[in-house]
């Protein structure tokens, strides 16, 4: 109602009011264009990045939020006042905010939150970083939102190791003194998912035990109001590279590692690195440039400058979609040859390392677990008999209308296996700590489930 009244005023209509009981619009009132008007972004969504600035941003590199600011008329913009009360430094323009850490630890608060019921959930997370217990009052409306948010927040905060006192219309949160790895249940509530993401910054708390990973379950619930919330968060947050989880899937040609890696990445919500596509793209570019497969220096120079980019399900070389071209048999054979050159592998190594981004990476290839990511949390070596792989490849080619001879494919696979296993640089072999998975008799679904079981066993979540 307040937003409506203020917008009416901006368009020249003054409304007489008796508190919240009655509103009168004068007869003959007409709209007048203000000439220019800013359509605000969502102040509730901005609250997570206001909090992020208060927790982690420096004065030299504040978090800048576009779309809401000093002229905002949404109720949740008053979250800025609460953040400032806890110690955040906030600069405001007409339609922007810049926020950075001020007081540290944050100042504990006792606040009536009736005016910011949605954004107040973020204050419960900020309270973990305060200098004493914080109490959020007059939040009975939390009980009748997407879920009982008072009960949900109390339950999930305790998983982290926090002491919480839950009442009918209030919540008291004590700062973290210890922390546990936690998998946060989101109750299909977008605000639970978004505000708990900020608990991942507990490593900033002085004197706390070693940081622990935080898992947000069913993160897609943020689609209700902020579909790309986590992508936006990851665009401004940084992590120690060694802390970003990596799962590698290596194996010989036609073992199905690419399909398996794509399905595992989808299940985990991680980025995907198809290292074979890098080498195939380099082979395609080399073939088109007329380079000799034994000219190591020229091939390495080409690989280092390869104008390659990946999109979901597509591979681009410059402005060309080469998704199908790189899958040709002749390109695969050439990729196997040029990948034996140490200089070519060095040229492509840094590009592969750059795929290690939040929230995690699934990488498939022939040396992901042995050379590129030797510190990977889980290494899988996928294989199947040469006969099984040849049959799979034969069916794949026939389904595409490509003529193929099974015996010839089998001989080619065996020759490629021998070449990959005997090359001087990064020969194809399982990492010493790899899990061996023979999928000769397994469906892709069964293989995915086995890898996810192994992954769960290596994570600290119950």
Q: What is the pLDDT of residue 404?
A: 78
DSSP per-residue string spanning 331-371? HHHHHHHHTT-HHHHHHHHHHHHTT--TT-EEEEESSIIII
Q: Render pLDDT for 267-295 as a digit per residue (tens, 0 to 9).
A: 998 999 999 889 999 999 999 999 999 99
Q: What is the pLDDT of residue 432?
A: 94
Paired with 66 in beta bridges are 96
Computed over every residue of the chain, the mean pLDDT equals: 92
Decide: pTM greater than 0.75: yes
Please say if the pLDDT value at position 339 is more than 90: no
Q: How far apart are CA 377 and CA 391, in angstroms?
A: 32
Residue-range domains of the chain with CATH = 1-37 (no CATH), 43-238 (3.65.10.10), 242-270+359-400+428-462 (3.40.50.300), 276-356 (3.40.50.300)
Q: What is the pLDDT of residue 329?
A: 80
Q: What is the pLDDT of residue 402?
A: 78
Q: How far apart are CA 70 and CA 80, in angstroms?
A: 10
Q: Which of 354, 255, 242, 358 is nearest to 308 (CA)?
A: 354
Q: How far apart are CA 27 and CA 302, in angstroms?
A: 75
Helix (H, G, I), strand (E, B) or coil at 274: strand
Looking from the CA of 178 toward its CB, the CA atoms found within 13 Å total 5
The residue-averaged pLDDT of 236-265 equals 91
> Is there a contact between 135 and 110 (Cβ–Cβ < 8 Å)?
yes
What is the H or E stretch that residue 132 is in? none
> Is there a contact between 214 and 200 (Cβ–Cβ < 8 Å)?
yes
Query: Can you say how many angstroms the Cα of residue 42 is from the centroid of all Cα atoms in its chain?
Result: 22
Instruction: pLDDT band for 87, please (50, 70, 90 cuts).
Output: very high
Q: What is the pLDDT of residue 448?
A: 97
Q: Pairing between strand 308-311 and 314-317?
A: antiparallel
pLDDT > 70: percent of the chain: 100
What is the H or E stretch that residue 41 is in? none
Q: Render pLDDT for 189-199 as a digit per residue (tens, 0 to 9).
A: 999 999 999 99
Going 4 to 7 to 13 to 17, the CA torsion angle's sign is: positive
Q: Which of 428, 397, 424 is nearest to 330 (CA)?
A: 397
110 is catalytic: no
Q: How far apart are CA 80 and CA 385, in angstroms?
A: 62
Please say if the pLDDT value at position 401 is more than 80: no
Q: How far apart are CA 307 and CA 289, in angstroms?
A: 14
Q: What is the pLDDT of residue 397?
A: 76
What is the H or E stretch that residue 404 is in? none
Going 194 to 195 to 196 to 200, the CA torsion angle's sign is: positive
The residue-averaged pLDDT of 295-319 equals 88
Q: How far apart are CA 73 and CA 244, in angstroms?
A: 39
Looking from the CA of 107 toward its CB, the CA atoms found within 13 Å total 14
Q: Render pLDDT for 198-242 as a digit per residue (tens, 0 to 9).
A: 999 998 998 887 889 999 999 999 999 999 999 999 999 988 899
Tokens describing residue 280: 């195939």
Q: What angle do CA 126, 129, 132 make, to 5 degrees?
A: 105
Contacts of 386 (CB under 8 A, 6+ apart): 410, 413, 414, 417
Residue reference for tokens 């970003």: 244
- Sheet with 320-321, strands from edge to edge, namely 308-311, 314-317, 320-321
- Catalytic residue, chosen from 76, 118, 189, 250, is 118
Backbone φ and ψ of 406, nearest 5°: -60, -45
Instruction: pLDDT band for 85, please (50, 70, 90 cuts).
Output: very high
Q: Which of 129, 121, 206 is nearest to 162 (CA)?
A: 129
């Amino acid at each position: 109602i307040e937003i409506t009244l203020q917008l009416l005023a901006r368009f020249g209509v003054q409304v007489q009011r008796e508190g919240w009981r009655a509103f009168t619009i004068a007869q003959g009132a007409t709209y007048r264009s203000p000439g220019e008007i800013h359509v605000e972004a969502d102040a509730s969504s901005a609250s997570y990045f206001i909090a992020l600035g208060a927790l982690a941003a420096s004065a030299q590199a504040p978090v800048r939020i576009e779309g809401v600011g000093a002229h905002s008329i949404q109720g949740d913009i008053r979250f800025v006042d609460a953040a400032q009360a806890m110690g955040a430094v906030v600069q405001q323009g007409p339609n922007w905010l810049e926020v950075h850490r001020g007081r540290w630890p944050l100042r504990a608060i006792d606040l009536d939150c009736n005016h910011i019921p949605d954004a107040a959930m973020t204050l419960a997370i900020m309270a973990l970083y305060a200098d004493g217990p914080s109490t959020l009052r007059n939040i009975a409306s939390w009980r009748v939102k997407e879920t009982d948010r008072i009960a949900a927040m109390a339950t999930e905060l305790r998983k982290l190791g926090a002491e919480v006192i839950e009442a009918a219309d209030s919540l008291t949160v004590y700062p973290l003194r210890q922390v546990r790895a936690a998998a946060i249940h989101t109750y299909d509530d977008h605000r639970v998912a978004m505000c708990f993401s900020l608990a991942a910054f507990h490593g900033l708390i002085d004197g706390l035990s070693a940081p622990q990973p935080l898992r947000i379950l069913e993160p897609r619930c943020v689609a209700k109001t902020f579909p790309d919330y986590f992508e936006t968060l990851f665009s401004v947050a940084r992590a120690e590279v060694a802390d970003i989880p990596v799962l590698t899937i290596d194996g010989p040609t036609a073992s199905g590692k690419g399909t398996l890696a794509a399905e595992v990445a989808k299940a985990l919500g991680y980025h995907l690195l198809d290292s074979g596509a890098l080498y195939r793209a380099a082979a395609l570019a080399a073939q088109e440039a007329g380079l000799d497969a034994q000219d190591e220096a020229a091939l390495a120079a080409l690989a280092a400058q390869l104008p390659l980019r990946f999109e979901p399900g597509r591979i681009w070389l410059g402005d060309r979609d080469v998704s199908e071209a790189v899958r040709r048999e002749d390109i695969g054979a050439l990729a196997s040859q040029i990948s034996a050159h140490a200089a070519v592998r060095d040229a492509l190594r840094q590009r592969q390392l750059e795929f290690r981004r939040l929230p995690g990476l699934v990488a498939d290839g022939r040396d992901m677990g042995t050379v590129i990511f030797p510190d990977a949390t889980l290494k899988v070596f996928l294989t199947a008999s040469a006969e099984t792989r040849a049959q799979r490849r034969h069916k794949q080619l026939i389904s595409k209308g490509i003529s193929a001879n099974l015996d010839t494919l089998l001989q080619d696979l065996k020759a490629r296996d021998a070449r990959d296993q005997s090359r001087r640089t990064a020969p194809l072999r399982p990492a010493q700590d790899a899990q061996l998975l023979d999928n000769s008799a397994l469906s892709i679904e069964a293989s995915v489930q086995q890898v996810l079981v192994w992954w769960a066993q290596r994570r600290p979540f119950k």
